[in-house]
Amino acid sequence: MVGEAPVVGRVASLLFLGLVGLPLAAEPGFLTRSSELLGQGKIDEAARMAEQILEASPDDPDALVVEGTVVLYRNLHPRRDDSIFRPLAEPAGPRAPGLDPSGAAKVAAWWKRVPGVDPGRASLWGDLAQLTFRAGDPAQALEFAAAALDTPIPDPEALQVAASVFLLNLDTTRGIRALEKIPGNRTALLYKGLEAWRLGKDGWRVSLQAFVDGQEPGPGTKLAAYLLGPDMRDTEAGFLEAIKTENSVPTLIVRQKYTDRYPNKFLSHLELARSLSQFGSFGQALREYAEIDRKALASTPEERQAVLFHQAWAYQASGLSKEASRLWEMVADSRDFYLRSAAAWFLGQNAIARGEEIAAKGWWSKVADEPARSKYAFWAAEELKKLP
C-alpha cells in the first residue's frame, strides 16, 4: 500500500470491474449503467438510481456500493502535495483528488454494510482500510483491517492492505497473521525474523535467511541482508546504519528496537516518529512526539523546533487543524524559511476554513514576497491574489 498511487482511482475503477461478474441483487444492468453514469460525471443520476433501489430494499449490496461511491465522488477535493516531507514538489503542478477523514467516514458508512449482506465482497474491508488510512485516520483504518483479517471469506488483496495498516501502526503480530493468510506470500518470514530480532528471541536468523533466499529485490531485502551480514552491530551506530539501508516499512522495526534500547535518547524517538509520520501513521507518530515531550528529551531550541514542526504536520494531516494551528504558531517565526513558510501557509489555510480571511491574509503576507523559496510561499502568493 505504501508508495502506491492514490487509492481513489483504484477503488473507483476496480470496484465496478470486480462486481459486474457477481450475482446481482439489484435490477439487471444496474451496476453497469451506474458505472457508466459515474464515469461520465453524472453523479446525481447514479445517486437517484441507487436511492430508488434502496427505498425498496435498504440492504441491497449493489445499491449500497454505488451509493458509497457517489458519496466518495462528492467528497473528493483537489489536494496539493503539501507534505512537509516533499519540499521539492512542483508547486504549480496539478492537484490530485483526495479525501479528508470526515469524507472517508461518510463513504465508510455505506460500504461497511456490504460484507454483512454479501460476504463475497470482503475486499471492501481492504478498500475501506486503505481509504481511511490515506485520508489521515489510521485508527479507523485499523478497525477495517481487523475486519479484513477476521472475515470468514478472506480476500488476498484486502489482507495485504490489512497487513500494511497493522504494520504501520506497529502491530506486527496482526500484520504477520494477515500476511500468513495470503497464499504464496513470503513476507511473513521477513516480519517474523525482524520481530524476533527486535525482541531478542532465538531463530530470527532462520526466518530472515529463508526470506532472503530466492527473494526478488523489494522492501526488506536489503535490510534483512544487512542484519544477517557481518557489519551489523547491536549498538546505536549499528541501528543508524541499518536504518540507512532502505526507507521502507520494515525499517520501522529497527527504529522500534533503537527506541527500546535507548528509551531516553531524543534521536531514537525522533527517528521513529518522523518515519511513522512520513508513511502516514500519524496517530503512532503523535504518541512518539508526546513521549519526547513527557521525558523532556528535546534539550536544544533546534530539537524543540523540530518536534513542534513535525507534530504540527501530524495534526494537520490528521484533520486536527485546531491542534495543528497552536503548534504552527510556535514555529511561525523560525529562522528556517521552509519551516516558517509551512507554518504561515497552514495557519492561513486553517483560517480560511474558519471563514477568517483577514487572518489568512496576515499569515500569507509574511512569506508571499518570496514565492521561489518554497512551495508554501508560492501557494501563499497565489492565494493572496484571490482575496479581496
Query: What's the whole-number average pLDDT of the chain?
Result: 90
Summarize the confidence of residues 28-53 as an average pLDDT: 88
Q: What is the pLDDT of residues 166-199, one digit of tens each?
A: 999 999 999 999 999 999 899 999 999 999 999 9
Cell numbers for 94, please give them. Answer: 496539478
User: Beta strands of 99-231 (E only): which ranges?
Assistant: none
Share of the chain above pLDDT 90, in %: 81
- For residue 208, being part of any structural domain is answered with yes
Total domains, the chain:
2
Q: What's the whole-model pTM score?
A: 0.88
Nearest to 273 by CA among 260, 261, 256, 257: 256
- For residue 84, being part of any structural domain is answered with no
Q: What is the pLDDT of residues 105-157, one digit of tens each?
A: 999 999 999 999 999 898 999 999 999 999 999 999 999 999 999 998 889 99
Q: Which residue, 243, 268, 283, sits at the end of a domain?
A: 243
- For residue 150, being part of any structural domain is answered with no
Residue 13 has pLDDT above 50, yes or no: no
Question: What is the distance between the alpha carbons of residues 352 and 260, in angstroms, rounded to a whole number?
Answer: 42
Residue 3 has pLDDT above 70, yes or no: no
- For residue 260, being part of any structural domain is answered with no
Task: Note down the domain range covering 224.
Answer: 187-243
Residue 14 has pLDDT above 70, yes or no: no
- For residue 378, being part of any structural domain is answered with yes
Q: Which residue, 243, 272, 287, sits at the end of a domain?
A: 243
Q: Which residue, 243, 261, 277, sits at the end of a domain?
A: 243
What is the structure's pLDDT at 28? 58
What is the structure's pLDDT at 31? 82
Cell numbers for 328, please give them. Answer: 504552527
Label residue 4 by pLDDT band (50, 70, 90): very low
Summarize the confidence of residues 349-369 as an average pLDDT: 97
- For residue 341, being part of any structural domain is answered with yes
Residue 29 has pLDDT above 70, yes or no: yes
- For residue 57, being part of any structural domain is answered with no
Residue 306 has pLDDT above 50, yes or no: yes
Residue 20 has pLDDT above 60, yes or no: no
Three-class DSSP labels, 336-382: CHHHHHHHHHHHHHHHHHCCCHHHHHHHHHCCCCCHHHCHHHHHHHH
- For residue 315, being part of any structural domain is answered with no
